[in-house]
Amino acid sequence: MMPATDPTLLALDFDGVVCDGMLEYFQAAWRTYCQIWQPHDSTPPADLAPQFYRLRPVVETGWEMPIVIRSLLDGIPESEIFQDWPNIAQKQVQKYELTAAEVGQKLDHLRDTWIATDLEDWLSYHRFYPGVIQRIQEILETSVKVFIITTKEGRFVKQLLQQAGLDFPESRIYGKENKRPKHQILRELLTNSQNQEIIWFVEDRLKTLQSVQQQPDLKTVKLFLADWGYNTVGDREIATNNPYLQLLSLDQFSQNFSEWPV
Ligand SMILES: [Mg+2]
pLDDT (tens digit per residue) in 194-251: 778 999 999 999 999 999 999 999 999 999 999 999 999 999 999 999 999 999 999 9
Is residue 15 pLDDT above 80, yes or no? Answer: yes
Angle of helix 78-95 relative to helix 64-73, nearest 10 degrees? 110
- CA of 58 relative to ligand 1 center, distance in Å: 12
User: What is the identity of the amino acid at 156?
Assistant: F
**Which residues neighbour ligand 1 (ion) by CB within 5 Å?**
13, 15-16, 204
User: How far apart (Å, rounded) are the C-alpha atoms in residues 43 and 96?
Assistant: 22
Q: Please write the tens of the pLDDT for every residue from 181-207.
A: 999 999 999 998 777 899 999 999 999
- CA of 172 relative to ligand 1 center, distance in Å: 17
- CA of 124 relative to ligand 1 center, distance in Å: 19
- CA of 1 relative to ligand 1 center, distance in Å: 32
- CA of 57 relative to ligand 1 center, distance in Å: 10
| Number of Cα atoms under 13 Å in the Cβ half of residue 53 | 12
- CA of 13 relative to ligand 1 center, distance in Å: 6
Could you tell me which of 128, 138, 133 has the C-alpha nearest to residue 257?
138
- CA of 202 relative to ligand 1 center, distance in Å: 9
CB-based contact 107:29 (threshold 8 Å): yes
- CA of 38 relative to ligand 1 center, distance in Å: 30
Q: Please write the tens of the pLDDT for every residue from 76-129.
A: 999 999 999 999 999 999 999 999 999 999 999 999 999 999 999 999 999 999
Angle of helix 233-241 relative to helix 206-213, nearest 10 degrees? 30
Bridge partner list, 173? 148
Give me the sign of the Cα torsion angle 126, 129, 133, 134: positive
Summary mean pLDDT of the chain: 94
- CA of 24 relative to ligand 1 center, distance in Å: 14
Residues 6+ apart with CB under 8 A from 35: 106, 110
- CA of 25 relative to ligand 1 center, distance in Å: 12
Quote the DSSP letter at residue 137: H
pLDDT band at 177 (very low <50, low <70, confident <90, very high): confident
pLDDT (0 to 100) of residue 262: 86
CB-based contact 229:204 (threshold 8 Å): yes
Is residue 2 pLDDT above 60, yes or no? Answer: no
- CA of 143 relative to ligand 1 center, distance in Å: 25
User: How far apart (Å, rounded) are the C-alpha atoms in residues 162 and 170?
Assistant: 11
- CA of 212 relative to ligand 1 center, distance in Å: 14
- CA of 40 relative to ligand 1 center, distance in Å: 34
User: How far apart (Å, rounded) are the C-alpha atoms in residues 11 and 221?
Assistant: 10
- CA of 178 relative to ligand 1 center, distance in Å: 16
